[in-house]
Structure 1
């Protein structure tokens, strides 16, 4: 007898960081301690920095088990073509209303069918907010794993007919504004990819990019002190280099600066996320392609990571098809259902673009653990340590989830082999 979804419950909860008005910050909002002074500029924000919110979704199954997922949205909600700010109280009725009405009574094991149904739901003709699709799909994946007695990794691998990873996916640590202290932590823990850096203003990068150069040079010097450690550097500049230089991005001034970054990072590989924010997907693809071609022609080995305007599955495909980036960030909350994140990672297979399964510091422990399964199932190139900006907690959550899952899958495989021998 199949296990059914009996009830759906939504509980307003908290996320692991904050919502920030990126437009106001880029416009020069003054940082006041941990807060910002000034008026918000993005619709939906009451202040520039607001406490993050989440909405926990619980599916009660006929087996007596409860499956869980968390609806949450990115730190910079409403920016770069993303859905508006997510207010948990405003969307609770949607989950307990139209979503619950369609899910009750359905087979909990049928993840693909349930996730497809969820993606097609609308309210007043509009698709569900990406955060709702994200959180409910996590609960559906958890329900399918519970109903089939397996892992979320196996459920996804079966849906897409792929072989999951047999080793942990390289984890990418994010430092927040404590970019030196947290980078030191990452170095001591041997994090494979680091440190993000949060270089989201001209003040932090330097009016001529000099502060970013100094930081990358410092990072390389610190990493060289650790024997047998070979990390990859990944710096997010939030489009600010575009403000410093402007197009065309293949001119000598820009290429020379990237060459300076390359020398500062040596001997470690370097990738720069979001070098500019061109204002639209088409413009972003054009400008990133120009920069990537310029770097290639000059022999400057700095990889570019697509972030701004690369939000949906279609966006990911567009950047990959155009050859606009060496790496695309799959920003999990922005794609809606977790199955769409899996599909985005798999869309990079067979191309020269790597898939970074990212997301946001503003997620939760539940969504982070679910993403660890997506990364394992699809063999993503790297996985963001999340939630939060303290580094240690997020690194622990995703690392431990992957290790536990791999151990469980290994024990299951061993048991199957023993049964076959008997």
Structure 2
């Protein structure tokens, strides 16, 4: 007898960080303590920094079990072609109205069919559902399928896409926030495989000539050398700021020499730089990223570049991969809508030279982070983001522990019952 979805409710909740108006920050908004001074520039924002919101979705099943997912959106909502700022109260009626009507009574075990139906739905105005709604409700559908079939969310996804899940934890990528030195020290102490993100989101932080980023990477390398046996990969996010420092074309000697200086500062650790520029459209971004990648390759500069800006949807990911415009693409889970679309985006990188980083945002929740850990395991992503929050420790705990518990439940343990934390290539 199949397990049915009996009812759906939505509860306004809080997310793990804040909504930030990226346009205002890039335009030079002054940071005052933890807040920003100035007027917002992105539609929907009431101030430059606002408390993050989420919408918890609960599916009550015919067995009495309750499946959960969280609707949430990225920190920089409304930027880079993303959906507008997500207000929980505004979108609650949509979840409890047309979404609930469409899903109530359906077989909870049919995850992919239910998630596909959700992805194709429209709201009361005939518009496609906000990405946050598709993201959160699909998490609940994934949880419901696992509950209905007595398996893990990893197994539900692996079965849906006929793939073999990872048997070891996926390398976790820690993000430091503005406490880029203290939190990097924490990451090194905990043996985090990929670190530290850095949050270099202004010229002030990067340096007028990029010198402060080079200095930071050199500091990071020196600190990492103190931890014998730990060989992390460095990953810094510059939010397009290097494009403001140098400008196109990106294969000229000045730019390539700068990346060579970053590589030298990082030695002996591998380095990848996320979002080197923001060119204002997907097509322009792909051209710029491909130009930079070709220039670095020709000069034998071994710094990988990571697509972030204008790489939001599944089609965006596919376009960057097809153009060979990045060494790594970030799959920004809330921006892809349904969580199954994130799985599909990671799998689209298989057999190519592009690695998939299952990312997302600090502005998610513990529920969405745990769901993403299952996507990472099912698809064998190259790395997975520690989230939510910018304090690092909590997000690292949530994602790492979910993977370890899942692997133990699936009977894939090593040694004395402890899952081995190594990269899964």
TM-score class normalised by the smaller sequence: over 0.9
Query: Which residue does the alignment assign to 2:70?
Result: 70
Cα distance in 1, alignment partners of residues 44 and 227 from structure 2: 46
User: SS of 1:258's equivalent?
Assistant: helix
Query: Which residue does the alignment assign to 1:56?
Result: 56
Cα distance in 2, alignment partners of residues 135 and 292 from structure 1: 35
Cα distance in 2, alignment partners of residues 361 and 20 from structure 1: 11
Encode CA deviations 1:56-101: one digit per residue, 9 max, x unaligned. Answer: 0000000000000000000000000000000000000000000000
Encode CA deviations 1:194-238: one digit per residue, 9 max, x unaligned. Answer: 000000000000001111011000000000000001000000000
Contact conserved, 2:167 with 2:412, CA < 8 A, in 1? Answer: no
Query: Which residue does the alignment assign to 2:92?
Result: 92
Q: Is 2:43 the partner of 1:43?
A: yes
Encode CA deviations 1:117-166: one digit per residue, 9 max, x unaligned. Answer: 00011022210000000000000000000000000000000000000000
Q: Is 2:348 the partner of 1:320?
A: no
User: SS of 1:328's equivalent?
Assistant: strand
Query: Which residue does the alignment assign to 1:150?
Result: 151
User: SS of 1:177's equivalent?
Assistant: coil
User: SS of 1:53's equivalent?
Assistant: strand
Query: Which residue does the alignment assign to 2:2?
Result: 2
User: SS of 1:50's equivalent?
Assistant: strand
Query: Which residue does the alignment assign to 1:296?
Result: 297
Query: Which residue does the alignment assign to 2:141?
Result: 140
Cα distance in 2, alignment partners of residues 316 and 139 from structure 1: 24
The within-5 A match list for 1:256-295 is 256-295=257-296
Cα distance in 2, alignment partners of residues 328 and 411 from structure 1: 28
Contact conserved, 2:331 with 2:346, CA < 8 A, in 1? Answer: yes
Query: Which residue does the alignment assign to 2:82?
Result: 82
Query: Which residue does the alignment assign to 2:20?
Result: 20
Cα distance in 1, alignment partners of residues 24 and 346 from structure 2: 32
Q: Is 2:38 the partner of 1:29?
A: no
User: SS of 1:127's equivalent?
Assistant: coil
Query: Which residue does the alignment assign to 1:418?
Result: none
Cα distance in 2, alignment partners of residues 371 and 190 from structure 1: 21
Cα distance in 2, alignment partners of residues 284 and 219 from structure 1: 29
TM-score (norm 2): 0.97
Figure out how many residues of one structure are paired with residues of the other and give that number. 412
Cα distance in 2, alignment partners of residues 16 and 143 from structure 1: 24
Q: Is 2:113 the partner of 1:121?
A: no
Cα distance in 2, alignment partners of residues 401 and 228 from structure 1: 25
Compute the displacement of 1:17 (Å). Answer: 0.0
Query: Which residue does the alignment assign to 1:102?
Result: 102
User: SS of 1:410's equivalent?
Assistant: coil
Query: Which residue does the alignment assign to 1:329?
Result: 330
Query: Which residue does the alignment assign to 1:419?
Result: none
After TM superposition, where is structure 1 displaced by more than 6 Å over at least 4 residues in a row?
none
Q: Is 2:362 the partner of 1:356?
A: no
Cα distance in 1, alignment partners of residues 210 and 51 from structure 2: 31
Compute the displacement of 1:286 (Å). Answer: 0.1
Q: Which runs of 5+ in 1 are unaligned?
A: 413-422
Q: What is the CA RMSD across the aligned residues, in angstroms?
A: 0.7
The within-5 A match list for 1:367-386 is 367-386=368-387
Query: Which residue does the alignment assign to 1:345?
Result: 346
**CA 1:309–1:411 in 2, change beyond 3 Å: closer, same or farther?**
closer
Cα distance in 2, alignment partners of residues 326 and 44 from structure 1: 34
Compute the displacement of 1:170 (Å). Answer: 0.0
The within-5 A match list for 1:116-265 is 116-123=116-123, 124-265=125-266
User: SS of 2:411's equivalent?
Assistant: helix
Contact conserved, 2:271 with 2:304, CA < 8 A, in 1? Answer: yes
Higher helix share: 1
Q: Is 2:116 the partner of 1:111?
A: no
Compute the displacement of 1:411 (Å). Answer: 7.1
